[in-house]
């Protein structure tokens, strides 16, 4: 049974080929098989591909030409601008944007004569470098300080002569008691050194060391006077009295009396008593003062060697006991009591007689007899020892 063309395009159909059933939609066109493509189509595809490649090559060549043209245009513009502004140097060539290509940079040309002239100009304009104070003569430093008394030069002069302070302080400290600290003397001497630096005049022809020593010692003595709790007038009077007393003792060879000292000073007895009373506080010393030095690290103080008259010496007590035993050896009880009570207890003959129920004359006779026998015993012992 046959069908028309319109019915073939609008109704679905089923194709049976080699045992395979394929259902096509109504109006669909089946793809052409390789056997149905003509050979002229292959030639058309090859021609289109070649044309596409040629167009791509022309596009790349056009882009490179455009970049080169832009670079040349920018170079021309920069050169024109440089010529217009009167620049002597040509503009450097523009770098190509290709990173693989390195454009050489021309070296900078420096005129040798111009560089030497510039260096000479800088050398003449630069101020001379000042010489350090430590490398200059001290006389030059003093002259500059007189003209321009700056703090830097003053500090240098003080530090340069600081050894004079240490030397003077150590010499003075040897004659002072241990209560006075060496650092206190050095501090006072440093202030004296500052005053000496400020008031010294090199034009007078005196060395600074000679002038400075007197000022430093004076400052140290002022510090010692401020530390002393005794007034200066009292101390000067006491020193005058001691000087007169020593001169009298050297002339006569005997100990000077108060009358002789008062007559030599031409003062009355009341005035001399006042001087003697004022000088008493000066003789007071501290018990913690160093008495003398030893080889050990511990110093001997006054409190270690001061004598206590109220305390009995143990050695003397033992010697008294031995002497008492030696004297009373060989004596009777009454004779031993007479010796002990009279010499050790310091009782009178009358008190001893009342204690022993004897008369005073009898006690005196027994005492004389005891002394005679003791004398004979001592003489006999000396003869035996010889």
pLDDT the model gives residue 62: 62
CATH 1.10.1740.10 holds for 133-228? yes
Is 314-385 in the same CATH topology as 133-228? no
Spatial distance between the Cα atoms of 332 and 310, rounded to a whole number of angstroms = 34
pLDDT the model gives residue 165: 93
Q: Which residues contact 258 (CB under 8 A, 6 or more apart)?
A: 269, 272, 276
The sign of the CA dihedral 243, 248, 251, 255 is negative
Nearest in space to 89 (alpha carbons), one of 108, 111, 114, 113: 108
What is the pLDDT averaged over residues 303-313? Answer: 71
Q: Which of 1-15, 138-152, 178-192, 351-365 has the lowest mean pLDDT?
A: 1-15
At 290, is the pLDDT very low, low, confident or very high (cuts 50, 70, 90)? low
pLDDT the model gives residue 324: 74
What is the pLDDT averaged over residues 159-177? Answer: 89
The CATH topology of domain 230-283 is Arc Repressor Mutant, subunit A (1.10.10)
Spatial distance between the Cα atoms of 142 and 129, rounded to a whole number of angstroms = 20
pLDDT exceeding 70 applies to what percent of the chain? 60
pTM score of the predicted model = 0.40
What is the pLDDT averaged over residues 279-301? Answer: 64
Spatial distance between the Cα atoms of 135 and 148, rounded to a whole number of angstroms = 19
Q: What single string gives the DSSP state of each residue in 312-379?
A: PPHHHHHHHHHHHHHHSTT--HHHHHHHIIIIIS---HHHHHHHHT--HHHHHHHHHHHHHHHHHHHH
Q: Are strands 20-24 and 300-301 parallel, antiparallel or unpaired?
A: unpaired
Segments making up each domain of the chain, as ranges: 133-228, 230-283, 314-385
Nearest in space to 63 (alpha carbons), one of 97, 102, 94: 97
The sign of the CA dihedral 277, 282, 285, 291 is negative
197 vs 85, residue with greater confidence? 197
* CB-CB contact of 138 with 160 (8 Å): yes
146 vs 110, residue with greater confidence? 146
What is the pLDDT averaged over residues 9-36? Answer: 43
Q: Which residues contact 96 (CB under 8 A, 6 or more apart)?
A: 67, 71, 103
CATH 1.10.10.10 holds for 314-385? yes
pLDDT the model gives residue 293: 60
Q: What is the pLDDT of residues 38-57, one digit of tens each?
A: 455 566 666 666 766 766 66
Among 88-97, 218-227, 305-314, 325-334, top mean pLDDT goes to 218-227
Say whether pLDDT at 374 is over 80: yes
Say whether pLDDT at 146 is over 70: yes
- For the chain, the C-alpha Rg in angstroms (whole number) is 65
């Amino acid at each position: 049974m046959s069908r028309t063309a319109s019915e073939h395009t609008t109704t679905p159909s089923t194709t049976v080929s080699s045992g395979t059933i394929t259902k096509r939609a109504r109006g669909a066109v089946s793809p052409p098989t390789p056997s149905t493509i003509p050979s002229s189509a292959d030639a058309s595809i090859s021609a289109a591909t070649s044309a596409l490649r040629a167009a791509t090559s022309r596009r790349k060549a056009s882009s490179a030409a455009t970049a080169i043209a832009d670079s040349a245009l920018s170079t021309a513009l920069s050169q024109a601008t440089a010529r217009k502004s009167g620049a002597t140097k040509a503009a450097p060539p523009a770098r190509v944007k290709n990173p693989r290509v390195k454009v050489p940079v021309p070296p900078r040309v420096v005129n040798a004569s111009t560089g030497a002239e510039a260096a000479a100009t800088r050398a003449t304009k630069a101020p001379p470098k000042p010489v350090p104070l430590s490398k200059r003569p001290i006389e030059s430093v003093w002259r500059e300080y007189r003209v321009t008394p700056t703090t830097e030069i003053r500090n240098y002069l003080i530090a340069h002569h600081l050894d004079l302070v240490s030397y003077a302080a150590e010499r003075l400290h040897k004659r002072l008691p241990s209560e006075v600290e060496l650092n206190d003397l050095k501090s006072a001497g440093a202030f004296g050194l500052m005053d000496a630096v400020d008031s010294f005049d090199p034009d007078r022809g005196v060395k600074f060391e000679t002038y400075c020593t007197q000022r430093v010692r004076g400052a140290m003595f002022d510090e010692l006077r401020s530390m002393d709790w005794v007034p200066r007038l009292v101390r000067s009077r006491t020193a005058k009295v001691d000087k007169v007393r020593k001169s009298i003792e050297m002339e006569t060879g005997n100990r000077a009396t108060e009358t002789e000292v008062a007559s030599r000073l031409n003062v009355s007895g009341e005035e001399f008593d006042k001087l003697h009373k004022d000088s008493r506080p000066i003789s007071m010393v501290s018990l913690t003062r160093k008495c003398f030095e030893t080889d050990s690290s511990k110093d001997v103080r006054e409190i270690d060697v001061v004598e206590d008259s109220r305390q009995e010496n143990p050695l003397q007590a033992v010697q008294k006991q031995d002497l008492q035993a030696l004297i009373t050896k060989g004596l009777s009880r009454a004779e031993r009591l007479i010796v002990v009570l009279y010499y050790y207890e310091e009782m009178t003959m009358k008190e001893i007689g009342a204690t022993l129920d004897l008369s005073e004359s009898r006690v005196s006779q027994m005492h004389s007899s005891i002394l005679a026998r003791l004398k004979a015993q001592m003489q006999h012992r000396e003869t035996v020892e010889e």
